[in-house]
Amino acid sequence: TGGVDQATRLGELLGMDAVFGDFMPYQGGEYGMAVLSRLPIVGSKNHRLPDGDEPRSALEVQVTGPGGHTLTVVGIHFYRTEDERLAQAESLMRGLAGTPHPVLLVGDFNSTRGDRVMSRLAESWSILTKDASPLTFPSDEPNREIDFVLLRPAAAFEVMEHRVIDETVASDHRPLLAVLRLRGFGAWL
């Protein structure tokens, strides 16, 4: 990146708030997770997760919408073995247990629907079903679904649309689009 703070720069270019949470040092900078939001970000926390082959964290941000309602969005990238991912999921669930408002958990779970990790998460979260093909990886010829949007409580959200976008260049994963209405926000997310 030539030392460019990508999260900040993307936020500037898009007119969005940006927060970065590092996983680890990488090539003279940092490797991690970013969240960008058109809604004001009013708080953030970088949850350290149990390490596997590489360190991991989950980036939590709180955004405020119309009427002052708060929503928590958590970006994740679980990693490597199923046991490592399960430990990361368990740790994150403990870290988010006391969140008093609606939560979105989004990202690369490196797990497939119905495996141990996703089944454990489904005990506390609603895993959205995608419209049409759910396959997200690899982007050039997807053959599995490992990227998800989870939410809780389900009653707080109305899902208007949720699908995979047919885009193969920006990442090795296809991006997801979720259009949600959060009851109480009075606005689309």
pLDDT bracket for residue 27 (50, 70, 90): confident
pLDDT bracket for residue 67 (50, 70, 90): confident
φ, ψ for residue 85 (rounded to 5)? -65, -40
**For residue range 129-170, what is the model confidence (pLDDT) as tens digits?**
999 999 999 999 999 999 999 999 999 999 999 999 999 999
Percent of the chain at pLDDT > 70 equals 97
- pLDDT reported for residue 187: 53
Mean pLDDT over each residue of the chain, to the nearest integer: 94
The pTM score is: 0.93
pLDDT bracket for residue 21 (50, 70, 90): very high
Residue 111 near residue 146 (C-beta atoms within 8 A): yes
Residue 185 pLDDT more than 80? no
Residue 172 pLDDT more than 80? yes
pLDDT bracket for residue 53 (50, 70, 90): confident
- pLDDT reported for residue 84: 95
Residue 24 near residue 55 (C-beta atoms within 8 A): yes
pLDDT bracket for residue 89 (50, 70, 90): very high
Residue 189 pLDDT more than 80? no
Place of tokens 């030392």: 3
Residues 77-107 as b/e (b if ≥16 CB within 10 A, e otherwise) read bbbeeeebbbbbbebbeebbeeeeebbbbbb
pLDDT bracket for residue 65 (50, 70, 90): confident
Q: Assess whether the previous peptide bond of 40 is cis (omega < 30° from 0).
A: no
User: Position 48: which residue type?
Assistant: R
User: Position 78: which residue type?
Assistant: F
- pLDDT reported for residue 159: 96
119: tokens are 């089944």
